[in-house]
Structure 1
Amino acid sequence: MLQSTRRWLRRNRTNFAIGAGVLGAGYMAGQYVLGKLSEARQRMSDERIAKENLRRRFEQNQEDCTFTVLAILPTATDNILAAIPVEQVLEELQRQKAERLSRSVGPSEIGTSAPPSVADTTEDDAHSASMQADSFIHASQVATEEPAEEETKSKKSKAQLWSEMKISSITRAFTLVYTLSLLTLLTRIQLNLLGRRNYLASVVSLAAPQSMAEGSRINLENNDDDNFDQAYGNDFETNRRYLSLSWWLLHRGCLDLIEKVQAAVKDVFGLLNPREEITLEKLSELTLQVRKRVEGATEEQRRTCKWLSFLLPPQDQEDYVLRESGMSSSSESTSPATTTSLRRLIDETSDLIDSPSFTHVLTLLFDAGFSHLVDNKISQLSYKIPPVSESSARVQEIVGGDVKAKVASSLAVFCRQAHSIGSGANNEYLAAIEQVRDLEAFAAVVYSSNFEYESPEGVTASVTRPGTAEGQTPAKPAATTEDSFESAWGKALAKEDGKEF
């Protein structure tokens, strides 16, 4: 029995060897496939986590942009209100009306009457207003005027005062809409560029060897609210200087806007009588004419309209802006690395501002701001047209086309809305502007494009693209930034939700 078993094993040992080899190979192949599947699952999981983390960072960045705009907008508002003191003109009109009333009725009756509003004052005075536009009074002139100048100002006719009131109130409201839109888009560019640098620095620090990453590691999730130097990258000094450049728009750019907007308002509204009754459609048409003079009448003119001079200082004024912002200039005790990094950020910001995509999105923000002012606030408060709903939009459009209101009634709304447009809390206009879908798409492209151009100090970024060796940072051609941005912007517009990056 034992002998026969040995003979059988000897005869079939080749088959056993082949079977064992097949089983072994099958086992090894199975383990290899399982390993690859596990690696693929892990890679997909890592990609999902990375994308979700990137999305959370991006969304947090957009919330930071909103809070930043609300925090610094009142600075520009104060400067614009001081440059166009509409309330002083109104006070002069009310003073003149009180003097006329005191001559026609007893003083005791005057004391019991309520102070007139803009619209009330117009009912009595605007019939004599011959509408020739006059220049507004700067706030700085109030304290420096000589008695002779005050006497001259007090002798201004009602026509002159109402002309000044009309031009100033409209100019102030329109300038604030432009300033709010520009500040919103500038802040989105600044914080998303810094957010991109922070994200890349985080990824690089995690991918770097432990000896390099120790002591400078930045977690992918930063829940420490007061850790500002990690909130927007690890180059705190560069970030401070870069963000301080918004001082130019808040203090200089908005005042330059006043001159441009005021000239357009004078051309369009100059001959309009405050006592005249016009339809909302006519007011919207006049507003559009002002916008065409400021932004451009054709698509080509709007596309080539340059806003850079309102948003960023010229290079020879950058040190002045830094000093006015409370920091030392670039040439004073600043490391070469900080200066280089700051220059790269400024240059990329300038390229974005001069891009056609910036002008496209900015025009949409202007549309949202002016629509909220004229189609919502003026229509409801001056023309008494109820809010538009989807079901009754057509009916209200037909009815609202026949409704007329005095220009003075709209001027009163322009005066009050100027404070709402520049408010730093519960700003309806900012909320309306941020409803523009292309704004978030633009911010997403800024946040996610041109990763390869960022190289955190002390670490070589191992971010690759086709045709680039691993760990090598490609050189930046002169026109590459704008071209790649325009390409990414076109892809972003092609996506329905505008959120994929």
Structure 2
Amino acid sequence: MISSTRSWFRRNRTNFAIGAGVLGAGYLAGQYVLGKVSEARQRMSEERIAKENLRRRFEQNQEDCTFTVLAILPTATENILDAVPVEQILEELQKHKAERLARSVGPSEVFSSAPPSVADPSVADDDAKSLTSYQSQSESYVHASQIADGENASTTGSGSAEVAAEGAASGEKKTKKSKAQLWNEMKISSISRAFTLLYTLSLLTLLTRIQLNLLGRRNYLASVVSLATPHSQESKINLENHDDDNFDHAYGNDFETNRRYLSLSWWLLHRGCIELIQKVTAAVNEVFGSLNPREEITLERLSEMTLEVRKKVEGATEEQRRTCKWLPYLLPSQDQEAYVLRESGMSDSASGLTSTSLRRLIDETSDLIDSPSFTHVLTRLLDSAFSHLIDTKISQLSYKIPPTSASTARVQEIVNPSDAKAKVANSLAVFCRQAHAIGTGANNEYLAAIESVRDLEAFAAVVYSSNFEYETPEAGASANTATGPESGMQSAAESARTSLVTDVGFESAWGKALAKEDGKA
């Protein structure tokens, strides 16, 4: 039996060899497949963690942008309130009213039946009512610095050529303005101040998003480089290195560079907003100049006049809006950078201003501001801000139109809100009050309306995740030799590109972002 078994094995040894080979190959193939599956799972897990980390960092960055805007907005508001002292004009009108009452012999003379004119008692009484209405709605917002010295108050923002001529005589006693001049000045100043604050808030929001998202991108890459760099167990002492090719500095961990970069927002808060006042005031004076404060107008006409002002400031056509230059209002020219650093409390040493890292940040910020995408997003933000002012606040507080809801739908069918009329003087009081609401640093409804625009978050995502190659220590060098931290950075860039709306170029990425937003709409 043993011999027969041996002969059987001998006859089938080829089959056994083939079977063993097949089983061995199958085992090896199975192990290879299992290894690849495990490797793919680990890679997917790492990518998912990286994407979630990036998204969490991005969302936190947007919250930081909101808090930053609320923190620094009051500085711009203070400067605008000082430059356009509406409350001082109100005080002058109150003095006119007090003097008129003091000259009155009796109450009966105030209500005489003479033909109406600017100077007669009946119109004076109408002015008094308008003044009382204006005062009752805005007196709680009188700016302390603006009522300290009424006689020496600035007349910035006046739409009247006579007022500008009077204000030019420095050191001389001011010519007393008539009621008509004061009402005209209040009209132009109240509207101009509110509109300027809307522009300032929108521009500040966009500038802050650009700055913090650029720094957020650099800090994210710094963390990736830190994780990708092997830590030597031998070296326990790190020598400080402030060269531009130092990894920490190149990737955004240079605290001094970040401080200098962020301090450039001083320009918008102190200079840009003042230049905006001049541009907005000229447009408001041209559109609203002929409007009588005692006149009644519809909300529709007020909206049309507001749109005309925006066309003069931003551009009437798509091409004009795209070519409108906002950079001079947001960032100083290169020869003014040292001045801004000094004014904001920074050192203006030559080494700080010529830092490659800082220069790259400023140049990329300028390119973003000059891009058509910036103008597109700014237009959307201004649409939301002006709509909240005119269609919500002015509509409810001046025209007494209830907010649209299911309970008021039937009422609005019976009474068309577009037919509602209100005196311009009453609307001026709301403009004055809303100016303070626009510039507040807490519970800001206008900032909430601006941040509800989806294009803003898409724009921030593109800024945060595009142009990663600009952050390499040797930008423009050969990427094929990248090892260590560079290779880790490139992996982070690829992860970010798949995580957020990205591409190599900003404009290409923004086009994809718009396509996604249109698909969601």
Using structure 2 for the length normalisation, give the TM-score: 0.79
CA distance in 1, matches of 2:18, 2:405: 80
Q: Which amino acid aligns with 2:419?
A: D
Distance (Å, rounded) in 2 between the aligned partners of 1:16 and 1:407:
103
Match of 1:236 in 2: 255
Matches within 5 A, 1:81-480: 81-104=81-104, 119-120=131-132, 133-134=159-160, 146=171, 148-150=172-174, 152=175, 155-211=176-232, 233-331=252-350, 334=352, 339-389=355-405, 396=412, 399-456=416-473, 461-462=486-487
Range that drifts further, 342-351 or 91-100: 91-100
How far does residue 361 in structure 1 lie from its aligned partner after superposition? 0.4
Q: Distance in 1 between matches of 2:454 and 2:237?
A: 37
Q: Offset of 1:6 from its aligned partner? A: 2.1
CA distance in 2, matches of 1:136, 1:7: 126
Amino acid across the alignment from 2:2: L
Q: Distance in 1 between matches of 2:40 and 2:84?
A: 64
The alignment partner of 1:210 has SS state of coil
The 3-state SS of whatever aligns with 2:96 is helix
CA distance in 1, matches of 2:519, 2:259: 30
- Could you say if the C-alpha distance between residues 294 and 406 of structure 1 is closer, same or farther in structure 2, counting changes exceeding 3 Å? same
Question: CA shift at 1:105, angstroms?
Answer: 6.9
Quick one: distance in 2 between partners of 1:182 and 1:335? 24
State the superposition RMSD in angstroms. Answer: 3.4
For the residues of structure 2 that align with 1:318 and 1:133, how far apart are their CA atoms?
33
Whole-angstrom distance in 2 between the partners of 1:358 and 1:212: 48
1:295 shift after superposition: 0.4
Percent identical residues: 77
CA separation of 1:285 and 1:26: change in aligned 2, threshold 3 A: same
RCO higher in structure (CA 8 A, sep ≥6): 2
TM-score by length of 1: 0.82
For the residues of structure 2 that align with 1:174 and 1:293, how far apart are their CA atoms? 13
Query: What is the distance in 1 between the residues matched to 2:75 and 2:511?
Result: 35
Q: Equivalents in 2 of 1:394, 1:190: separation in Å? A: 48
In the alignment, which residue of structure 1 is the partner of 2:115? none
Counterpart amino acid of residue 300 in structure 2:
E
Work out whether residues 296 and 424 of structure 2, in 8 Å CA contact, stay in contact via their aligned partners in 1: yes
CA distance in 2, matches of 1:62, 1:104: 60
> 1:212 Cα shift?
10
Summarize the Cα distance change of 1:162–1:248 in structure 2 as closer, same or farther, 3 Å threshold. Answer: same
Aligned match of 1:6 = 6
| SS of equivalent residue, structure 1 residue 278 | strand
Give the superposition deviation at 1:463. Answer: 6.0
1:59–1:43 Cα change, 3 Å: same
Q: Secondary structure at the match of 1:211?
A: coil
**Corresponding residue for residue 128 of structure 1:** none
1:84 and 1:137 in contact (8 A); partners too: no
CA, structure 1 residues 8+335, in 2 after alignment: closer, same or farther (shift >3 Å)?
farther
Write the distance in 2 (CA, Å) between the matches of 1:30 and 1:240: 57
Q: Residues 235 and 494 from structure 1, CA distance in 2 versus in 1: closer, same or farther, beyond 3 angstroms? A: same
| Pair 240,212 (structure 1): closer, same or farther in 2 beyond 3 Å | farther
| d(CA) in 2 for partners of 1:215, 1:384 | 71
Using the alignment, how far apart are the partners of 1:348 and 1:394 within structure 2?
A: 53
Distance in 1 between residues matched to 2:513 and 2:423, nearest whole Å: 45
Q: Which amino acid aligns with 1:69?
A: V
- Following superposition, the deviation at residue 210 of structure 1 comes to 2.3
1:426-455 CA distance string (max 9 Å, x none): 000000000111000000000010011102
Measured in 2, the distance between the counterparts of 1:68 and 1:42 equals 38
Cα contact 2:327–2:366 (8 A) shared by 1: yes
Gaps of 5+ in 2: 108-127, 136-157, 239-247, 475-482, 494-501
Q: Contact 1:83–1:137 (CA<8 Å) still a contact in 2? A: no
Which letter does structure 1 place at the counterpart of 2:343?
A: E
Letter of the structure 1 residue corresponding to residue 282 of structure 2: A
